[in-house]
């Protein structure tokens, strides 16, 4: 029996989607319902469904971020390893933004969910499950799709930073933000200008970002998601959902027996984990 998870923060919409799925696909068992991104990841890892319906706009993590986190945490190895779930995003975005889903070959349904359109999605899911890729191929395919949707690619050679959509929507092509040269940090009654050249790495800390230089640590009231588009994409790489690192500060990339990557830094003792979503940035020449 095929299984599914629904992640939707609006109770009525979640119930409606579940009801429509029951009518269109009686064999499908909805094993979990989540109301926000973090809960969706936790429940998906626990129940390991074959299909995940993720609302794009949810409290905390967006649907795209939750899917990316799930891909990072998914265990597809060993005798109990399971193929990564098929992803369907539930969204209210306009046609321009939806082109990104089409390019990434990820299915989506528009709000409010219409039975005819959902029926097309159900047919696609049934066909995909019948030809299901096994781990790790399914996981690698999903990661490539998510990279396209999140705008995670190789660093640009143009020297600019490509802006990512703050709401978790697919980014519009060609949007570029001015690169920062200094971070203005409040320290007591004063403001310290920290040159971005001095930054070793940046770490998400709730509504703040920890700014770490070789010998100092600061807090700035901005999210990592908002700060990233203002940094030079050739010099600052996101390597994890919670970390951005200055490329010049990386001394070595270590790979363990399972293939997981860790960064050793030049001027800091910490080691930074590289998530699956960003592992493609580090390839030997």
Judge whether 235 lies within some domain.
yes
Judge whether 156 lies within some domain. no
- Position 155 in a domain: no
For residue 247, the model assigns a pLDDT of: 96
Residue that is last in its domain, among 122, 150, 178:
150
Domain that holds residue 272: 162-281
Residue 157 domain-assigned (yes or no): no
CATH number for position 261 = 2.40.50.1020
Identify whether 225 is part of a domain: yes
Domain boundary among 84, 115, 150: 150
Mean pLDDT calculated for residue range 48-72: 92
102 and 63 share one domain: yes
pLDDT at 254: 95
In this structure, is residue 188 part of a structural domain?
yes
For residues 252 and 210, membership in a common domain is answered with yes
The half-sphere exposure of 77 on its side-chain side, counting CA atoms within 13 A, is 4
What would the pLDDT profile of 139-179 be if each residue is shown by its tens digit? 988 999 898 888 887 665 433 333 333 344 444 433 445 68
70 shares a domain with 110: yes
Are 144 and 183 in a shared domain?
A: no
Residues making up the chain, counted from first to last: 285
| Whether residue 231 sits in one domain with residue 119 | no
Q: How far is CA 275 from CA 9, 166, 197, 198, 262, in A?
A: 27, 20, 24, 24, 9
Any domain includes 24: yes
Write the CA distances from 191 to 173, 215, 241, integer angstroms.
35, 18, 28
In this predicted model, what pLDDT tens digit does every residue of 16-51 receive, in sequence order? 999 999 999 999 999 999 999 999 999 999 999 999
Instruction: Write down the pLDDT at residue 154.
Output: 67
Residues 261 and 172 in one domain: yes
- The verdict on 91 and 212 lying in the same domain is no
Asked if 217 and 210 count as a contact pair (C-beta separation under 8 A), the reply is: yes
Q: Read off the pLDDT band of 97 (50, 70, 90).
A: low
The tens digit of pLDDT for each residue in 102-145 reads 877 788 999 989 999 999 999 999 999 998 877 778 898 899 98
Say yes or no: 209 and 143 in one domain: no
Q: What is the mean pLDDT of the chain?
A: 87
Indicate the range of 112-126, 176-190, 220-234 predicted with least confidence: 176-190
- Per residue in 236-263, pLDDT tens? 999 999 999 999 999 999 999 888 999 9
Report if residue 231 sits inside a domain: yes
Same domain? 144 vs 170: no
Identify whether residues 261 and 132 lie together within a single domain. no
Q: Are residues 133 and 18 in the same domain?
A: yes
Domain CATH for 123: 3.40.50.2300
What sign results for the dihedral spanned by CA atoms 74, 80, 86, 90?
A: negative
**Do 86 and 122 meet the contact criterion of CB atoms below 8 Å apart?**
no
Residues 145 and 167 both lie in one domain: no
Q: Could you give the percent of the chain with pLDDT greater than 70?
A: 87
Choose the final residue of a domain: 108, 123, 150.
150
**Pick the residue with more confidence: 80 or 134?**
134
Domain count, the chain: 2
């Amino acid at each position: 029996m095929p299984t599914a998870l629904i992640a939707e923060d609006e109770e009525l919409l979640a119930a409606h989607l579940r009801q429509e799925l029951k009518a269109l696909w009686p064999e499908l068992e909805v094993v979990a319902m989540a109301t926000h991104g973090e809960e969706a990841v936790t429940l998906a890892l626990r129940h390991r469904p074959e299909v995940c319906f993720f609302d794009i706009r949810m409290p905390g993590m967006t649907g795209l971020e939750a899917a990316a986190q799930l891909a990072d945490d998914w265990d597809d190895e060993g005798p109990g390893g399971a193929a990564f779930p098929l992803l369907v995003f539930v969204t209210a975005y306009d046609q321009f933004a939806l082109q990104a889903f089409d390019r990434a070959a990820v299915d989506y349904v528009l709000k409010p969910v219409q039975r005819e359109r959902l029926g097309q999605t159900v047919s696609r899911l049934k066909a995909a499950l019948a030809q299901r890729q096994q781990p790790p191929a399914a996981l690698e395919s999903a990661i490539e799709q998510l990279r396209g949707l999140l705008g995670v690619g190789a660093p640009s050679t143009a020297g600019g930073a490509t802006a990512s959509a703050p709401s978790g929507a697919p980014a519009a092509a060609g949007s570029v933000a001015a690169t920062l040269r200094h971070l203005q940090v409040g320290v007591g009654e004063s403001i310290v200008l920290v040159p971005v050249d001095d930054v070793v790495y940046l770490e998400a800390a709730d509504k703040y970002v920890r700014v770490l230089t070789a010998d100092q640590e600061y807090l700035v009231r901005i999210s990592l998601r908002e700060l990233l588009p203002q940094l030079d994409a050739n010099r600052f790489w996101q390597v994890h959902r919670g970390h951005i690192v200055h490329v010049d500060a990386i001394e070595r990339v270590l790979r363990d027996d399972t293939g997981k990557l860790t960064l050793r830094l030049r001027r800091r003792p910490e080691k930074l984990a590289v998530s699956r979503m960003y592992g493609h940035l580090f390839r030997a020449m």
